[in-house]
Amino acid sequence: MYTITFKFEQKGIEPITINNVEDGQSILEVALVNDIDLHHNCGGVCACSTCHLYVEQGEDHLEELSDAEEDFIDRAINPRLNSRLGCQCVLQKGSGEIIVRLPDQTQFLGE
């Protein structure tokens, strides 16, 4: 089981920690089930970059970065060395703590 903490670049949103997360799920799936707004224009099939996030801790608990994912990260807004796509961050068998930071999602809403 995993503990996943979602931090937010958007002002006024406090971190959210989700406990007892089972492996085999993606970070995007965990976010959506827990009503955390993480855009996913392509439906979570690694065909866009809207579920872009930053993995601050626990990268070793996630599936490795694929070439396709890397190509889409290059198209994301403000990519960093720890950038990943939430739809491709599938939790591996095991347990641990993962911390991710979500970019300001208002960039997709036009707010």
Residue 110 belongs to some domain of the structure: no
Token pair of 94 as six digits: 């095991």
Domain range spanning residue 12? 2-105
Q: Is residue 111 part of a domain?
A: no
Note the pLDDT of residue 62.
97
| Domain count within the chain | 1
pLDDT tens profile 28-86 = 999 999 999 898 888 888 989 999 999 999 999 999 999 999 999 999 989 999 999 99
Q: Say how far residue 51 (Cα) sits from the centre of its chain.
A: 6
* Structural domain includes residue 10: yes
What DSSP designation does 92 have?
P
Helices (H) and strands (E) in the chain, counts: 3, 5
Is the overall model pTM greater than 0.75, yes or no?
A: yes
Model pLDDT for residues 1-22, shown as the tens digit of each residue: 999 999 999 899 999 999 999 9
- Is the pLDDT at 107 greater than 70? The verdict is no
Q: How far is CA 59 from CA 43, 56, 107, 108, 111, in A?
A: 23, 8, 25, 26, 31
Does residue 106 have a pLDDT over 80?
no
CATH number of the domain where residue 84 is located: 3.10.20.30
Determine which helix (DSSP H) or strand (DSSP E) holds 67, and give its type and residue range: helix 67-73
In this structure, is residue 44 part of a structural domain? Answer: yes
